[in-house]
Structure 1
Amino acid sequence: MMSKQVNTITVRQTQFKPENINAHYTESTLMSHFLTALSMSFPQGERFFVETVRNVRDQVSDEQLQKDISGFIGQEAHHARAHEQFNQLVQNSEYHLKKFEKAYEQEMIRLRGLSQRRQLAATVALEHFTAMMAGYMLKYPDVMFKGLSENMKNLWLWHAVEEIEHKHVAFDVYQQVFDNLAQRRRSMRTITLGFISSTVIMTSHLVWQDRKSTLYQPRQFIKNAKTLVGLTQMMWRLLPDYLAFYKASFHPSEIDQQDLLSKARELLVN
């Protein structure tokens, strides 16, 4: 199945500037830790996504999809570098991510040992997660981005826009090369368990490292309780889009995010 709508994929340089970053860069410390946990997975994860598409690119005959693949690779390469810089800058001797970097290295080794079909199916599932969350960030910026500096907004807004722009690419490659519905569904079930559990574990670990500010400050406790409610609400709101993935006829473009994308692109320019 090919893309149902044409979506421009633009490879941009991020306006995010590597600089000293406090571990508390949103109004809620819990939201900071949650976003940092997501960021931890991006450098290695997005390089893996690129590999899985490149592995089978020579089997793609569609000319437009070949152009989209180039855009996908360019965007993901920039994302990996930017989040690598962020991850290095946000940590210090009392707030560190090294344990998870090693865990992700081991997980990437495991994934690279799978067949090309299973590797690409994992990418397709994870790209669905990132597109859903990117859309949510753009739709509810007051929930996800409250208190962010302009520099940090540049990082997350830029990333969200590009994730939506290329959300169909890995899916279309998978459909053209493998077109295996059972594998797509199996991989989504496996990825769902791994993605949610790893994000919860990483966020919890960061919260515990920062417990003096996150758990023991009354003002932050109230803000973080609201954040927890907001994240739970996010999961329920995204559930229909998540379940849609299991339909035989599903295509990423059926989740319409074009209005959100248009407005966010304007913010990127300004």
Structure 2
Amino acid sequence: MLARDGTEEAAGNAANRMTVRQMGFAYPQTMSGHWNAKRPEFSQIVNAASLAMPYLEPYLIRTMRLARAQIRDEALRRELDSYVSQEASHYRQHRKFNEELKARGYRSIEKLEAKIDASYKRIEASGSLASNLAYAEGFESMALAIGEMLIEDRDFLFGESESGVASLVLWHFVEEIEHKNVAYDVFEHVAGNYFRRVGGFLHAATHIFLLTRAGYRELLKEDGLWRNLRSRLALARLLIRIFWKLTPKLVRILVPGYSPRQVADPAWALAWARLFTKDGEAAGRLDTTRLDQREPVPHAARTTA
């Protein structure tokens, strides 16, 4: 059933909705780091965010597994296990993509990865389980907001881009929407507190945004675009557009009584899940010339490397 704003309420709980999917994304040898040729700045923002995933998501997994021992609700334990499986798939796929970026000659990536790795080790070692759960819940609330924004603006951000990368990112955030309740429920079960929750969100959002900015700055420097006036203006316009759409979705997280259950699932995300059920390969090779459709459309044939 569609709501007035084009979203669709999903039936059932998170355990019924979460699916652990085996995906295959193709990246042609001719693909550059600017996999969206129209929007090289957006390409590098996404590339920079991808660099964090092989370190962020294992940290989330370890945190949730530590919390599992304190959960007595069997249904929530099953949801946590499904969440962990989805997140493990995410970081493995991003690691593969990041290796593709390295193969295209970006020398700054290894240093950026080392800094990201060290930052998550510090957060994990210095924080209590409660504070790490707050970070995890804060990240997942932010990821839900980002997923909504990316899906709403998918044609502008991913239109006519390389199918493999667009499919990777949109798949990832469809699954972030699927497991939107889990980190919140675990946090509330183990360490629930409004001020701790908001503090975790602010910590996670600030940390991720700073890591991402450092990453795209270095990547754009390697491209020779960081000091290019036209590119910097394009980047500024892009960031204004992104945060104009994203900020209201982030602000709601600060409201007392916020729950991700209040956020209806985008109809396109649910349509993607139906496409995967019918044809798993098709869901990994979206036709990026037709992302304005209400339902995802696959390419007729897989792009070859």
Report the Cα offset of residue 19 of structure 1: 5.5
CA contact (8 A) 1:157 1:264 kept: no
Distance 1:51 1:17 in 2: 29
* 3-state secondary structure, aligned to 2:19: coil
Check 1:200–1:94 CA distance in 2 against 1; reply closer, same or farther (3 A cut): closer
The corresponding residue for 2:25 is 16
Q: Is the 8 A contact 1:60 1:177 kept in 2?
A: yes
Unaligned runs of 5+ in 1: none
2:112 counterpart of 1:105: no
Match for 2:143 among 88, 105, 130?
130
Q: CA deviation at 1:67?
A: 1.7
Name the CA shift for 1:186/1:94 in 2 (closer, same or farther; >3 Å): closer
> Quick check: 2:142–2:201 contact (8 Å CA) kept in 1?
no
Segment drifting more, 247-256 vs 48-57: 247-256
Q: Map residues 205-216 of structure 1 onto 2, 5 A cutoff.
A: 205-211=218-224, 216=228
Match of 1:232 in 2: 240
Indicate yes or no: 2:172 matched with 1:159.
yes
Query: Hey, what's the Cα distance between the residues in 2 that align with 1:43 and 1:261?
Result: 24
CA distance in 2, matches of 1:149, 1:18: 8
1:14 touches 1:154 (CA, 8 Å); kept in 2? no
Question: What CA distance in whole angstroms lies between the structure 2 residues aligned with 1:125 and 1:187?
Answer: 5
For 1:78, which of 78, 81, 89 is the aligned residue? 89
Provide the rounded CA distance (Å) in 1 between the counterparts of 2:160 and 2:219: 19
* Matched letter for residue 19 of structure 2: T
Whether 2:13 is the aligned partner of 1:6: answer yes
Q: Is the 8 A contact 2:116 2:211 kept in 1?
A: no
Distance 2:165 2:207 in 1: 27
Whether contact under 8 Å (1:131, 1:167) holds in the other structure is yes
Give the counterpart letter for 2:198 in structure 1.
R
TM-score (norm 1): 0.89
| Counterparts of residues 214-225 of structure 1 (less than 5 Å) | 216=228, 221=230, 225=233
Structure 2 equivalent of residue 245 of structure 1 = 253
Cα displacement (A) at 1:54: 0.5
Query: After superposition, what is the alpha-carbon deviation per residue over 1:40-95, rounded to whole angstroms, capped at 9, x for unaligned?
Result: 11111011111111001021122221221111011100111110011011124444
Query: What SS does the corresponding residue of 1:206 show, helix, strand or coil?
Result: helix
TM-score, normalised by the number of residues in structure 2: 0.79
Verify the 8 A CA contact 1:49 1:123 in the aligned structure 2. yes
Q: Distance in 2 between matches of 1:105 and 1:230?
A: 28
In the TM superposition, what is the alpha-carbon distance from 1:215 to its structure 2 partner? 5.9
Q: RMSD of the TM alignment (CA)?
A: 2.2
2:58 is the alignment partner of 1:47: yes
Query: In structure 1, what is the equivalent of residue 270 of structure 2?
Result: 262
Identity %: 24
Task: Using the TM superposition, give the Cα deviation of residue 236 of structure 1 relative to its aligned residue in structure 2, in angstroms.
Answer: 2.1
**Offset at 1:263?**
2.4
Letter in 1 for 2:99: Q
Q: CA deviation at 1:192?
A: 2.6
Task: Decide which of 66, 71, 78 is 2:77's aligned counterpart.
Answer: 66
Q: Aligned partners of 1:187, 1:139: CA distance in 2, in Å?
A: 26
- Deviation of residue 155 (structure 1)? 0.9
Instruction: In structure 2, give the amino acid aligned to 1:104.
Output: I
SS at match of 2:254: coil
1:133-148 to structure 2, matched below 5 A, reads 133-148=146-161
Q: Distance in 1 between matches of 2:107 and 2:161?
A: 19
Kept after mapping to 2: 8 A contact 1:143/1:230: no
C-alpha distance in 2, partners of 1:155/1:126? Answer: 19
C-alpha contact 2:70 2:190 (8 A) present in aligned 1: yes
Whether the aligned pair in 2 keeps the contact of 1:43 and 1:84 (CA below 8 Å) is yes
Greater percentage in helix: 1
Where do 5+ consecutive residues of structure 2 fail to align?
Answer: 1-10, 283-305
Contact 1:135 1:260 in 2 (8 A): no
